[in-house]
Structure 1
Amino acid sequence: MNHSSLDITLKFTSYGSFRPLNYLFFTLTLIFYLLSIFSNVFLMLVIYFESSLHKPMYIFLFNLAVNGLIGSSAVWPKVMENLLSDTQISSFVACLLQAFWIYFYVASAYTTFSVMAYDRYVSICKPLQYHSIMTPGKVKTLLTVANIIPFSCLVVRMYLTSRLPVCRFTIHNLICENLTLLKLSCVKSALVNLYGVCMVTILVGFPCFTVLLSYAKILTVSLKASKDAQKKALSTCSPHLITFINFSLTILLFVIYFRYSAFLPGEANILMIIDIFVVPPLLHPIIYGIRTQEIRKCVVKIVKKRQRLFRIF
């Protein structure tokens, strides 16, 4: 990193100066942030304490919940700080860190979706070999790969971004993300752009291809199976498909927005940030809780236990 960039202070211009409105947005942001934390932590605790859920599918789901916490925490605390502050500023280093965790949230979600799809493929298409394929060692390896590859790729990406000379100091956005940081630079780097394309291919393109290929094979096998087998396959795969499609549509809208943001009103910025950093982290645990029978049973069991305890006291 250039030593001069350590002293750079960046100013956000998208928060406005309407203090009463900022208080309202702060309250709403805090509520949704706390709900997101509660839903993900609750799901993680259910999986951790219920031994019946100590299976590859739910271990991967635990990782997805952790990822949801990372995505929410990378964005909303800083947004809330800016809403209450008279000067909405950030150091360049802090902006780089926020951009890193934002992109890690997106990339790790896709790699996790891909290993979850692979797990569903093995479970449905090779049920007799499932336990010999999805061993504890294999699960640990898949989880490690799903997190280390995005982390490593993004460390390099942020390093390359940090090396670019900065000559603009205002951020026309609610958050720091890499495309915004690149606009601050005085130059355009072919290396950074090329690396960005390679990174998107590895961290988004390949996982999406893995998910689609897995479900194409699942569909092929399911069409040849009995009605009961089809029903079972649908019940186990539907939460994953719903969350994957929801997340992918959100990311697609996010990319389209930043491609054409110059032609869109500023309010669209707020909607896009909410769509990507509130909706998935909040809804994914709820979708899995409602649509997954085993999790639903465990939640009902926990609620009944708490009710019995309250009656005793």
Structure 2
Amino acid sequence: MTVNSTLSYFIFSTYIHIGTLRYLYFMLTAMLYTVIITANTSLIVVICMNRSLHEPMYLFLCSLFVNELYGSTGLFPFLLVQILSDIHTVSASFCFLQIFCLYTYANVEFFNLAIMSYDRYLAICCPLQYNTRMTSNKALIFITVIWLYSFVKFLITLSLNIRLPLCGNIINSLYCNNYLVVKLACSETKVNNIYGLFGVVLTVIVPLFPILFSYMKILKVCFSGSEQTRQKAVSTCTPHLASLLNFSFGCLFEILQSRFDMSSVSSVLRIILSLYFLIIQPLLNPIMYGLQMSKIRNTCKHLFCSKMWACHRDTM
């Protein structure tokens, strides 16, 4: 292949010919996107409107829900267009923009879950000092740093990748994947690989320290504490731990799918593995936290009942 440093578009080879089923897949994907948008937006509104929820834990949750909307918007509209299209191409500029959105989404998600684990450690293991060690202002600072760090980190990644001369434009994925784009490069990618490895350490290894530390301390308190302490730990940590494990496994699926030869695996399973962390996480988080957190449940019920009563009163 010839070197082309000015590729204007990429082609996706993973999309299979689905014929008239495309309309069914389009409807299912649109329904999923609608549920994700509705659920996450509703919880963001509930947290923002109710002053009693302006606490660190709920601010972290609000950041998490905003991130789910951000990541979903980076994927679903693109998927909907590709499902209906006969030619699965995308402009190079949009491809790099999608890479930026999806990778910053993953980075923010993991760091957000890491700081939430530390917040749960303080609430369970240091309840008397919690209000001084984790204030709303500190929570907002943590959230701001997480988002700014993620944006700056992947701006550097993109600046390194955009300059690479490419020998091809076929991406074996359903969406733009940073690793697969770098694999198309004809020139030396040593700097990109080193920075990529450094980025993986910062994105995965660094957040693991507060996560492991927090849960080791929480487990220690659970084994030595009272029944009430154990119940509090279980009720507050269950949705967070489920979200953390789900996201970690989803990212692992994506890494396996994109970096190793999985030609022996069915195309449907490969598609599920590549989309898992981008679809299940935004769908699961609002459901889990909305059902598990009694304060959010009660606020939702209060707002819903108030609206129902107002509508009933207006019709009388």
TM-score range, shorter chain: over 0.9
Shift of 1:6: 5.4
| Correspondence 1:1-313 to 2 at 5 A | 5=5, 8-263=8-263, 264-312=265-313, 313=315
Number of aligned residues: 310
Say if 2:124 and 2:232, in contact at 8 Å, map to a contact too.
no
The DSSP-based 3-state class of the residue aligned with 1:139 is helix
Letter in 1 for 2:225: A
Structure 1: distance between partners of 2:179 and 2:269: 17
Superposition CA RMSD, Å: 1.6
Letter in 2 for 1:8: S
Shift of 1:85: 2.2
Shift of 1:121: 1.2
Q: What do residues 151-177 of structure 1 show as CA deviations (whole Å, max 9, x unaligned)? A: 111111111111211110112211001
Structure 1: distance between partners of 2:89 and 2:258: 21
Shift of 1:202: 0.7
Say if 2:114 and 2:211, in contact at 8 Å, map to a contact too.
yes
TM-score (norm 2): 0.93
Structure 2: distance between partners of 1:16 and 1:79: 13
Structure 2: distance between partners of 1:262 and 1:166: 24
Structure 2: distance between partners of 1:308 and 1:261: 58
Distance change in 2, residues 1:86/1:259 (3 Å): closer
Structure 2: distance between partners of 1:309 and 1:136: 33
Which shifted more, 97-106 or 200-209? 200-209
Which shifted more, 58-67 or 156-165? 156-165
Say if 2:120 and 2:237, in contact at 8 Å, map to a contact too.
yes
Which shifted more, 139-148 or 181-190? 181-190
Say if 2:254 and 2:275, in contact at 8 Å, map to a contact too.
no
Shift of 1:252: 1.3
Q: What runs of 5+ residues in structure 2 fail to find an aligned partner?
A: none
Structure 2: distance between partners of 1:13 and 1:225: 55
Distance change in 2, residues 1:281/1:261 (3 Å): farther
Shift of 1:62: 0.3
Say if 2:257 and 2:274, in contact at 8 Å, map to a contact too.
no
Distance change in 2, residues 1:229/1:82 (3 Å): same
Structure 1: distance between partners of 2:159 and 2:65: 28
Structure 2: distance between partners of 1:311 and 1:222: 47
Say if 1:5 and 1:92, in contact at 8 Å, map to a contact too.
no
Letter in 2 for 1:59: L
TM-score (norm 1): 0.94
Which shifted more, 301-310 or 92-101? 301-310
Structure 1: distance between partners of 2:215 and 2:249: 18
Say if 1:37 and 1:69, in contact at 8 Å, map to a contact too.
yes
Which shifted more, 137-146 or 254-263? 254-263
Shift of 1:7: 5.0
Shift of 1:228: 1.0
Shift of 1:262: 4.0
Structure 1: distance between partners of 2:45 and 2:21: 36
Q: What do residues 213-254 of structure 1 show as CA deviations (whole Å, max 9, x unaligned)? A: 111111112322211121112111211111111111111121
Structure 2: distance between partners of 1:265 and 1:224: 48
Structure 2: distance between partners of 1:261 and 1:35: 33
Q: What do residues 107-129 of structure 1 show as CA deviations (whole Å, max 9, x unaligned)? A: 10011011111111111122111
Q: What do residues 39-61 of structure 1 show as CA deviations (whole Å, max 9, x unaligned)? A: 11011011111111110000000
The DSSP-based 3-state class of the residue aligned with 2:128 is helix
Shift of 1:5: 4.9
Say if 2:69 and 2:282, in contact at 8 Å, map to a contact too.
yes
